[in-house]
Structure 1
Amino acid sequence: MKDLHSSNLKFYHMSIAILSTLMILGALPLYWREDGVGWGLIWHSFIVLVGIVLLWVYPKRETNSMKTTMVLVAFVYFYTLLLVYPETSSNLVLVCFLPGIAILFFLPRLVYLSLALNVFFLSMIFSYVALIDQGQVYQYLYSDLEGNIFNFFASQAVFFLIFYLSYTRIKKQQMYFEQIQQTERMKTTGQLAAAVAHEIRNPITVVKGFIQLYSHDHSLGEEKKKHFLLMLEELKVAETVITDFLSVANPKEGRNTVRINIKEALHDVVDIIDSFALLNNIMIDVRAQKCYVSCTPMEFKQLMINVIKNAIEASPSGEIIQITAREQKKQVIIDVIDQGKGMSKEELHSIGSLFYSLKSKGTGLGLMICQNIVQSYNGTLQFSSEKGKGTKATICFPSVSK
């Protein structure tokens, strides 16, 4: 029951029309039994009216609050049937199936809330029937009380198991889909790098060689030599961009990895980037345990400098960036937390894409390089953020023994 649009919206309206008719007809037996209009019929009719309105409005307001309201109204409706029609045993079956309505919306908290409410309310009703009623009104419940209680709790356990297994499977599929997306991004970048980088580097090398040759010509004035030096610097910038492309595409097989002490390595990285942080009036607080990973020192520094530099640039003046490192379940977890402007869900989804950057002069290659480094060591790089509440970058590496 999500994203009801176009073709399936017509089917939804048809189904709701049939359901509304059945709910209205369901109130007629109460009218005949009470021989007129009583409080039971008024309450039943009111709940039916509220339920019908919610069902028709839902396609226009598919919000979590609307879904929660619909589930609660369904609880009131079916428990009303259970209490108003004590001689009808089928109402117990309908109440047992109430968590199935919440499962349709696929919200874990709503499912767990419906299961908890169902267990609580029916436990109260079973207690009332066993201790007070004793079959005077709810004869069908009392006649097989133990069996009804067992069947009820078994049905709730089945609903919980169905939802848990389905939710776990969908989460795994979602993670798999995100991994495929990331792989496709890396593949696209690699193809682009292979097609373009070498073709650009060759003419740059030729131009750079001639500029270096002419810069040593003593017949040229000092002013022209300064121009040559400026051109050389700009060519170095172009070469750096090309190197970034190649570092994303290059799997770097056969690299010489060493055991890195994370605590020492993080302090070394902070010493390198601390001057940049001070220029932006940012303090860096490192709290790291002594743990070890297998990596090349250069790549680890490149990874951490990129992540910390992004955190510095995202943080307002005077803030503190927190860096923590710990070992947990054979994983070394490094968190870089800033108090910047944060990112929306859409920005988080696009982060790491080719040429996607939140910085005005960014190329988006920095985070792609970071992702490539982490994945090459069977690790992960994830971001959690909220608009106006900062960002946390979490880096996980397999730990190695001391």
Structure 2
Amino acid sequence: MKTSFLRVFWPESSTRIQGVIRFRWIAIVGLIFGAIPLLQVGYLQKTQMPYLMAVIALLALFNGLTQGIWSKPSASQESRILFVQLLVDLLAATGLLFASGSANNPFIFVLCIHAFLGGMLLRGYRSLSFGFLVLLLLSILQAETFQDAKITVNVDTREVFFNFLAQWTIIIVSWGVAYLFASLLEKQEERIRNLQERQLKADRLKSLGALAAGFSHQMATPLNALKLRVDRAARKSVSQPEIQAELADAQESLSECIAIFHQMAGVFSNSTGGDLQKIKVKPLLLDILKAWKQDHPSVNVETHFQEGDVVCEVQALALSQTLFDLLDNAAEASDFKETVSLRLFTEGQSLILEVVDLGKGLSKEVISRLGEPFITDKKHGNGLGIYSAQMAAQAMGGEFSLFNNKSGKGATARLLISMVAPQEG
């Protein structure tokens, strides 16, 4: 029953403005029922009742209009409308306090609530401005109270000033705590959103990989059979040059299709299979680079390795294939003319491996759809190298990112892996 009642009062889809509207209705009801005890204790005179009723009526009218017009604003309007909403409540509360004891009214803590809401719901200069307005209005109330205290017999002004200082302190602390707490919540929500997006993308990539592996497995057999038939037809058409030329083109296309299907299946199996092994990363990278240089002797690769060595849990085969693909991509992006940089360094408890090229950089589509197969800027590429790097990073509990360099020339592929322990000696 409690949960259902709460959901009726505050549905999950409620905006911050809708929450303020609901709280204002509660405040209006509280003012109506609180008028009687205020009259009894003398903080509210009968002559002030019309003023109180007028304020309540105006708040109710404003709340009704807000509920119909501003309850669901656009994202760009929400902060501005929230500021207006809280300011109206603040002015109404200050007016009521001014008419019923000013700073001596025990309900002065209402300003603390407004300061807290301003720090919690508003951001940036609007929040600072609102906090300043709360203090300004408090000062007006305190000035009115001080004027009354000067003409009152046997009033200790030092005690009055101490109460004023306490009120200022409580309001400033209320605003500051709310602002800091809201900032922490925003950062936590952003972190949760990023983690959810990463998990969603990882699940989508795994699904694509499983689909690609199954599809390539199913298509490999008929394609191989078709290639055998084309090869047989090519041998029989030796005396017909025109037909043989067409069959030669068909053979080349079929071989390319079969290679792509095998690569798709191999990428998925290499990036998801295999046990993690504790390996010294730097010697492994040097061996991989040496093997890659044998096939690309003309490409200049600069290495920037941090001193010392670290041990990480990796899949050696997947890491080797990933580095081969990233070096291939960097060399191709640089037209095999510019220098490619291979960097290895630590950051906190993570090892970071970067491959940097000086090519034309990446398009927005490739960056926004990072890791999806067949999304590439290369004319004859298939995007499987980046997909392989993404899957390998996930399999090793790391992260993979790809971004354009700040210099405006080239791009950087970054692989982040958690370290096991520093290697001594």
TM-score bracket, normalised by the shorter chain, equals 0.5 to 0.7
CA 1:327/1:161 → structure 2, altered by over 3 Å: closer, same or farther? same
Task: Letter of the 1:70 partner, please give it.
Answer: I
Residue 123 of structure 2, aligned match among 107, 111, 115: 111
Shift of 1:185: 1.8
Give the distance between the partners of 1:92 and 1:185, measured in 2 at CA: 52
Quote the sequence identity (%): 13
TM-score (normalizing by structure 1): 0.60
CA 1:271/1:174 → structure 2, altered by over 3 Å: closer, same or farther? farther
Which residue number corresponds to residue 196 of structure 2?
177
CA 1:341/1:79 → structure 2, altered by over 3 Å: closer, same or farther? farther
Which residue number corresponds to residue 135 of structure 1?
146
Task: Letter of the 1:398 partner, please give it.
Answer: S
Quick check: 1:236 aligned with 2:255? yes
**Residues 192-249 of structure 1, C-alpha deviation per residue, up to 9 Å, x if partnerless?**
2343222211123334445556767896577766555543432221122212321343
- Give the secondary-structure state (helix, strand or coil) at the position aligned to 2:146: coil
**Residues 60-105 of structure 1, C-alpha deviation per residue, up to 9 Å, x if partnerless?**
5421xx344335545655665677654156465345434535645x
Give the distance between the partners of 2:264 and 2:222, measured in 1 at CA: 17
Contact 2:217 2:265 in 1 (8 A): no
Quick check: 1:343 aligned with 2:364? yes
Task: Letter of the 2:252 partner, please give it.
Answer: E
1:2-401 mapped onto 2 (5 Å cutoff):
15=21, 56=69, 59=72, 61-63=74-76, 66-73=77-84, 77=88, 80=91, 86=98, 87=102, 90=107, 93-94=110-111, 96-98=113-115, 100=117, 103-104=120-121, 111=123, 113=125, 116=128, 135-136=146-147, 142=161, 144-145=163-164, 147-156=166-175, 158-160=177-179, 162-164=181-183, 166-209=185-228, 229-250=248-269, 251-254=272-275, 259-261=280-282, 288-290=304-306, 294=314, 295-296=316-317, 298-305=320-327, 308=330, 325-334=344-353, 336=356, 340=361, 342-343=363-364, 350-353=369-372, 364-383=383-402, 393-399=413-419, 401=422
Give the distance between the partners of 1:99 and 1:74, measured in 2 at CA: 14
Contact 1:331 1:399 in 2 (8 A): yes
Contact 1:263 1:289 in 2 (8 A): no
- Give the secondary-structure state (helix, strand or coil) at the position aligned to 1:174: helix
Shift of 1:12: 5.2
CA 1:167/1:8 → structure 2, altered by over 3 Å: closer, same or farther? closer
CA 1:8/1:380 → structure 2, altered by over 3 Å: closer, same or farther? closer
**Residues 6-65 of structure 1, C-alpha deviation per residue, up to 9 Å, x if partnerless?**
x979x959959x87x97xx9xxx9xx98x99xxxx9xxx9xx99xx789945745421xx
Task: Letter of the 1:397 partner, please give it.
Answer: I
Structure 1 stretches lacking a partner, 5+ long? 1-6, 105-109, 277-283
Give the distance between the partners of 1:71 and 1:322, measured in 2 at CA: 51
Task: Letter of the 2:253 partner, please give it.
Answer: E
Give the distance between the partners of 2:244 and 2:278, measured in 1 at CA: 43
- Give the secondary-structure state (helix, strand or coil) at the position aligned to 2:123: helix
Task: Provide the aligned length of Structure 1 versus Structure 2.
Answer: 355
Contact 1:98 1:114 in 2 (8 A): no
Give the distance between the partners of 1:374 and 1:149, measured in 2 at CA: 53
Contact 2:21 2:67 in 1 (8 A): no
Contact 1:186 1:249 in 2 (8 A): no
- Give the secondary-structure state (helix, strand or coil) at the position aligned to 1:97: helix
**Residues 160-194 of structure 1, C-alpha deviation per residue, up to 9 Å, x if partnerless?**
46435543543343244224323432342244234
Give the distance between the partners of 2:148 and 2:295, measured in 1 at CA: 79
Contact 1:82 1:92 in 2 (8 A): no
Give the distance between the partners of 1:321 and 1:100, measured in 2 at CA: 54
Contact 1:299 1:373 in 2 (8 A): no
More off after superposition, 134-143 vs 231-240 = 134-143
Structure 2 stretches lacking a partner, 5+ long? 1-12, 32-43, 150-156
